[in-house]
């Protein structure tokens, strides 16, 4: 029985990690940004996602879009991890329509904008080659907009949100 549960959780980790990365690719592309940087670091990113989802150390995946001249945050997209894993069969889905709706609503990023992907982990997370500690840009003067749950697989899921300038 344990082998089945472990195998199912491993499948959930793969499903959720792959769909988080696909969601980030969609945000980048549909926001008018060049996805080539994400493509270049795809392998190291997926390795970090899978390792920290498997160990349950991953808290949040963040896409910071910033002005390279000032280093100021333009917008920030977040996917928060929910560890409610269970053995419910057939409970897996991705709500890419909700994500696409909010990307269109938020609008295109400025043409000069750059981006970077950050993974926030809990303390004592396993080390993963290619990842190191960095700072996250400030969201001061911004408002967080929740999108809701966008990925689910047997209770391992992800809630999406984005930050916009306060009006």
For residue 29, the model assigns a pLDDT of 94
CB 74 within 8 A of CB 109: yes
Look at 14-23, 25-34, 86-95, 98-107 and tell me which has the smallest mean pLDDT: 86-95
The Cα–Cα gap between 81 and 53 comes to 8
The Cα–Cα gap between 29 and 26 comes to 5
Q: Are β-strands 73-83 and 58-66 bridged in parallel, bridged antiparallel, or unpaired? A: antiparallel
For residue 118, the model assigns a pLDDT of 96
Query: At the fourth CATH level, which superfamily is domain 2-165?
Result: HORMA domain (3.30.900.10)
Look at 14-23, 30-39, 145-154 and tell me which has the smallest mean pLDDT: 145-154
The Cα–Cα gap between 111 and 23 comes to 21
The enclosing H or E element of 72 equals none
User: Which of 34 and 4 is assigned the larger pLDDT?
Assistant: 34
Listed by start position, the domains of the chain span: 2-165
Share of the chain above pLDDT 90, in %: 63
pLDDT for 28 beyond 80: yes
Q: Encode pLDDT of 123-143 as tens digits.
A: 999 999 999 999 999 999 999
The Cα–Cα gap between 151 and 157 comes to 5
CB 113 within 8 A of CB 37: no
Sheet holding 156-165, edge to edge: 92-94, 142-153, 156-165, 73-83, 58-66, 114-121
Predicted TM-score (pTM) of this structure: 0.87
Q: Encode pLDDT of 82-124 as tens digits.
A: 888 555 555 666 777 888 888 888 888 999 999 999 999 999 9
Q: Encode pLDDT of 35-55 as tens digits.
A: 999 999 999 999 999 999 999
Q: How far is CA 128 from CA 19, 34, 37, in A?
A: 20, 26, 19
């Amino acid at each position: 029985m344990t082998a089945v549960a472990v195998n199912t959780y491993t499948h959930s980790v793969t499903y959720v990690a792959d769909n988080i990365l696909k969601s980030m690719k969609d945000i980048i592309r549909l926001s008018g940004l060049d996805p080539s940087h994400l493509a270049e670091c795809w392998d190291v990113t997926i390795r970090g996602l899978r390792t920290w989802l498997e160990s349950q150390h991953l808290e949040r995946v963040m896409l910071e879009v910033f002005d390279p001249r000032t280093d100021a945050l333009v917008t920030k997209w977040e996917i928060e991890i929910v560890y409610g894993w269970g053995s419910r069969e057939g409970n897996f889905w991705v709500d890419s329509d909700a994500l696409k709706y909010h990307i269109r609503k938020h609008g295109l990023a400025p043409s000069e904008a750059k981006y970077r992907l950050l993974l926030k982990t809990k303390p004592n997370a396993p080390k993963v080659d290619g990842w190191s500690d960095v700072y996250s840009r400030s969201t001061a003067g911004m408002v967080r907009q929740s999108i809701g749950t966008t990925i689910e697989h047997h209770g391992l899921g992800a809630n999406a949100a984005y930050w916009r300038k306060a009006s």
